[in-house]
């Protein structure tokens, strides 16, 4: 079966890795014309149109979860791949993120009222002394797009702010971002702080940002490292499974 929507089918051509082709392709193929149009408009970043289509779908009896999974998230998956592969850049991603928000405005009240469990809760911030947040924000967007609840602590985040947020929101995952070599060690400090206050075993901690490497991540005792926003989501999913096993 092929993707019916012409525009979306064209966008899907940017997905070239076999694993992703299968995963995203199968998710899209089982959706109908309206959901495919929604995914397509999200990729274009047409925020008014995404808001309108989302509302139309809800009015026509689609569930909020359907609209999210079959429409918005499929679109976002393609946006993530295009950004990683340098087909599009930050402005285009920001525009799609804004469109996602326009859709979520209609979905969020329904989703939170229905009490559907999110797949996981993440606390995410840029570490102390660092004000770079573009990459962190893209990761958050993709995590939300993948069904996580993310609490954004913003930039310049101190160790105790991470810890407090984990307790307040009962989060399973902590994501830290650093773009400066001067602030990279602060990721290690957050990890030690979690050890000191007895929270280390309650969460899995992942790190990222341009100067961070797997090597640095291992050295400072992080549980996971991701090179880009797509990997951030993959890592979050893996770490969640790991945490459940550890706690079981």
Partner 1 sequence: MTTKAQVAGKMTSRQRVMNALNGLPVDRPPVANPTSVATVEMMDLVNAYFPEANRDPEMNARLAATEYTEFGFDAIAPYFSIIQESSALGCDMQWEQKDNWPTVRMANPIWKSSRDVKVPADFLQHRDITAITGSIKLLKQEFGDDVAIIGKTMGPWTLAYHVFGVEPFLLGTVDDPDETMAALHRLKEFTVLFGQAQIDAGADILTLPDHATGDLVSAEYYKRFLLEMHQELAETFDVPIILHICGNTIDRMPYIAQTGMAAFHFDSRNDPQEAMDAVNGGIKLVGNVNNPTTLYARTPAEVRKEVYRALDAGVQLIAPECAVPLKTKAENLVEIPIAVEDWAAEHGMI
| C-alpha 158 chain-centroid distance | 22
Instruction: Return d(Cα 11, Cα 44) in angstroms, integer.
Output: 10
Among residues 25, 41, 21, 34, the alpha carbon closest in space to that of 67 is found at 34
Tell me whether residue 57 or residue 222 sits nearer to ligand B12 (CB atom).
Answer: 222
Tell me whether residue 103 or residue 226 sits nearer to ligand B12 (CB atom).
Answer: 226
Binding mask 77-116 for ligand B12 (x = CB under 6 A): ----------------------------------------
Tell me whether residue 67 or residue 163 sits nearer to ligand B12 (CB atom).
Answer: 163
* In contact, 25 and 3? CB cutoff 8 Å: yes
Our finding on whether 158 is near ligand B12 (CB under 6 A) is: no
Our finding on whether 179 is near ligand B12 (CB under 6 A) is: yes
Q: What Å distances lie between residue 30 and 23, 59, 71, 76, 87, CA to CA?
A: 12, 21, 11, 17, 26
DSSP string, 112-140: HHHTPPPS-EEEEEEBTT----HHHHHHH
Enumerate residues 225-244 that contact ligand B12 by CB under 6 A: 226, 228-229, 232, 235
User: What DSSP designation does 201 have?
Assistant: G
89, interface contact from partner 1, ligand B12, none, CB < 5-8 Å by kind: partner 1
| C-alpha 235 chain-centroid distance | 11
Q: Across-strand partners of 177?
A: 126, 208
Number of H helices, E strands in the chain: 12, 5
Instruction: Return d(Cα 194, Cα 173) in angstroms, integer.
Output: 12
94, interface contact from ligand B12, partner 1, none, CB < 5-8 Å by kind: partner 1
Size of the site for ligand B12 (CB under 6 A): 28
Q: Are strands 224-225 and 173-177 parallel, antiparallel or unpaired?
A: unpaired
Compute how many other C-beta atoms are within 10 angstroms of the C-beta atom of residue 156.
16
Binding site for partner 1 (CB under 8 A): 45, 86, 88-92, 94-95, 98, 129, 131, 133-134, 137, 154-156, 180-183, 210-211, 213
Tell me whether residue 109 or residue 154 sits nearer to partner 1 (CB atom).
Answer: 154
What is the nearest approach in angstroms of ligand B12 to the Cβ of residue 44? 21
Tell me whether residue 45 or residue 71 sits nearer to partner 1 (CB atom).
Answer: 45
Instruction: Return d(Cα 230, Cα 182) in angstroms, integer.
Output: 26
What is the nearest approach in angstroms of partner 1 to the Cβ of residue 173? 24
Tell me whether residue 64 or residue 78 sits nearer to partner 1 (CB atom).
Answer: 78
Stretch that binds ligand B12, among 47-55, 65-73, 157-165, 201-209 (CB under 6 A): 201-209
Residues that bind ligand B12 (CB under 6 A): 129-136, 138-139, 175-177, 179-182, 206-211, 226, 228-229, 232, 235
């Amino acid at each position: 079966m092929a993707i019916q929507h012409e525009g979306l089918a064209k966008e899907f051509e940017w997905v070239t890795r076999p694993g992703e082709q299968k995963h995203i392709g199968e998710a899209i193929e089982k959706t109908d014309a309206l959901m495919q149009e929604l995914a397509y408009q999200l990729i274009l970043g047409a925020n008014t149109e995404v808001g309108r289509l989302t509302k139309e779908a809800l009015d026509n009896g689609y569930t909020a979860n359907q609209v999210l999974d079959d429409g918005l998230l499929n679109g976002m998956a393609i946006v993530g791949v295009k950004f990683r592969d340098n087909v599009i850049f930050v402005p285009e991603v920001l525009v799609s993120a804004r469109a996602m928000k326009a859709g979520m405005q209609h979905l969020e009240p329904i989703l939170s009222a229905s009490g559907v469990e999110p797949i996981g809760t993440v606390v995410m911030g840029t570490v102390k002394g660092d004000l770079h947040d573009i990459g962190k924000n893209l990761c958050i967007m993709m995590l939300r797009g993948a069904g996580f609840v993310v609490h954004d602590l913003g930039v310049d985040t101190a160790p105790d702010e991470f810890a407090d947020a984990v307790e307040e929101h009962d989060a399973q995952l902590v994501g830290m971002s650093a773009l400066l070599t001067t602030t990279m060690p602060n990721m290690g400090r957050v990890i030690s702080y979690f050890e000191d206050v007895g929270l280390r075993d309650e969460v899995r901690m992942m790190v990222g940002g341009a100067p961070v490497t797997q090597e640095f991540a291992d050295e400072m005792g992080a549980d996971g490292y991701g090179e880009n926003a797509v990997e951030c989501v993959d890592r979050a999913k893996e770490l969640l499974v790991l945490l459940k096993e550890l706690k079981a």
